[in-house]
Amino acid sequence: MAAAEEHDSSAETLQTAAEEEEAKTFKDLGVTDVLCEACDQLGWAKPTKIQIEAIPLALQGRDIIGLAETGSGKTGAFALPILNALLETPQRLFALVLTPTRELAFQISEQFEALGSSIGVQCAVIVGGIDSMSQSLALAKKPHIVIATPGRLIDHLENTKGFNLRALKYLVMDEADRILNMDFETEVDKILKVIPRDRKTFLFSATMTKKVQKLQRAALKNPVKCAVSSKYQTVEKLQQYYLFIPSKFKDTYLVYILNELAGNSFMIFCSTCNNTQRTALLLRNLGFTAIPLHGQMSQSKRLGSLNKFKAKARSILLATDVASRGLDIPHVDVVVNFDIPTHSKDYIHRVGRTARAGRSGKAITFVTQYDVELFQRIEHLIGKKLPVFPTQDDEVMMLTERVSEAQRFARMELREHGEKKKRKREDAGDDDDTEGAIGVRNKVAGGKMKKRKGR
């Protein structure tokens, strides 16, 4: 009972601490000097709310459930305490971080390496879509931190000789709600069985679902909850709009918006891999620098697309929900929900790709005659009515002819690609560049596509 009261009081003091966060530095939170310097070098001037709440408790050795919206600095909230503890008791295979998607795993690894560069921290990223053999070699070197997706980690635990996690001290589950939504439950259960019970566990999630509560009971001992925003909400500096349009004119309105807001960088979310690829081709035929990112691309192409977009070599990234979670690309100015998300919570994650870390941003959601109910659910979830994005309909309609021609080319290129894939299954895609730029070369090189266009 006393312990429960102690929790409450510590939660209250943390609450006031969060209000006085202006005065807080990483040093005040108990982070060692070496890591404080690393934070300075990364440009982390002061801790975010979730870091102020979670880090002191983590340093005391408590299990933590962190609930925080996307873009709130969750990675730092678990990486700093782990590196702090690693400095005190150096050991190999010290911590395991489980994440739902491959891209997020690479991003977390980058942050660990950046924070631990001066102390020589070694990380291994264990995800699908990459050669198992090289991963086995990385694990044989016994890195300090393993960042993994659950499925591939189980593969290695079962098949890689000499690899086990029996000495593990920390387990982190990042985006726990999504790990469980993707039906990794059985894998997570298996992992929990083979790691020590005597460990610290951090569970980070943007939303608290029934499954996460079940996992919390199974995996955490006497945890403290650090909730920065229990209500589903979007960042204050995010301007959100919707557009109600007939579904056959979606492409035309997309082109209109890209022209209207030219000069910004865009993330456009589609519901399927095929639609992502089709829309990317359509936009490229109209001269936009667009690249796709979806689950049917090979891992190297996915990372290639992401890196080109991060480096601002491309201004439009078309993605499925693979990219809606956790990816931190600082310069996204506009998020377009080209296909409305079927789960309202995914809306929060998608629009969270922009207006990160105090910057402003726009989100525009396309609503067709078939999406009204889904859209009403989203408005209900975020607790606000969205305004209409202003458009000049006559200007939009002037684009229809060019857009329909680009649609025709995109369909032809997709079909050509499909046939090519059938013809040579084994080496399909080897001659593509990172973006899977189907047929685009033909036009550039003056192939038959160009002649057809000229006719």
The domain spans of the chain are 2-227, 238-454
CA distance 87 to 239: 43
* Topology, domain 2-227: Rossmann fold (3.40.50)
CA distance 316 to 299: 19
- The pLDDT of residue 147 is 96
DSSP 94: -
Q: Give 46: exposed, middle or buried? Use CB within 10 Å, 0-12, 13-18, 19+.
A: middle
- The pLDDT of residue 235 is 59
Structure-model confidence comparison of residues 354 and 56, the more confident one:
56
Confidence at 58, pLDDT banded by 50, 70, 90: very high
CA distance 306 to 291: 9
Helix axes 210-219, 185-194, angle to 10 degrees: 10
pLDDT of 20 higher than 50:
no
CA atoms within 13 A on the CB side of 451: 2
The pair of structure tokens assigned to 233 is: 């909400």
Confidence at 389, pLDDT banded by 50, 70, 90: very high
Domains 2-227 and 238-454 share a fold: yes
- Beta-strand relationship, 200-205 and 64-67: parallel
pLDDT of 22 higher than 80:
no
Domain 238-454 classified CATH 3.30.1330.60?
no
- The pLDDT of residue 423 is 72
Is residue 365 within 8 Å of residue 242, measured between CB atoms?
yes
Phi-psi category of 257—alpha, beta or left, where left has phi over 0 and alpha has psi -120 to 50?
alpha
pLDDT tens for each residue of 314-369: 889 998 887 656 566 667 889 999 999 888 778 887 887 776 655 668 899 999 99
Is residue 185 within 8 Å of residue 86, measured between CB atoms?
no
The pair of structure tokens assigned to 82 is: 């782990």
Angle at CA of residue 84, ends 91 and 128, nearest 5°: 65
Average pLDDT over residues 406-415: 90
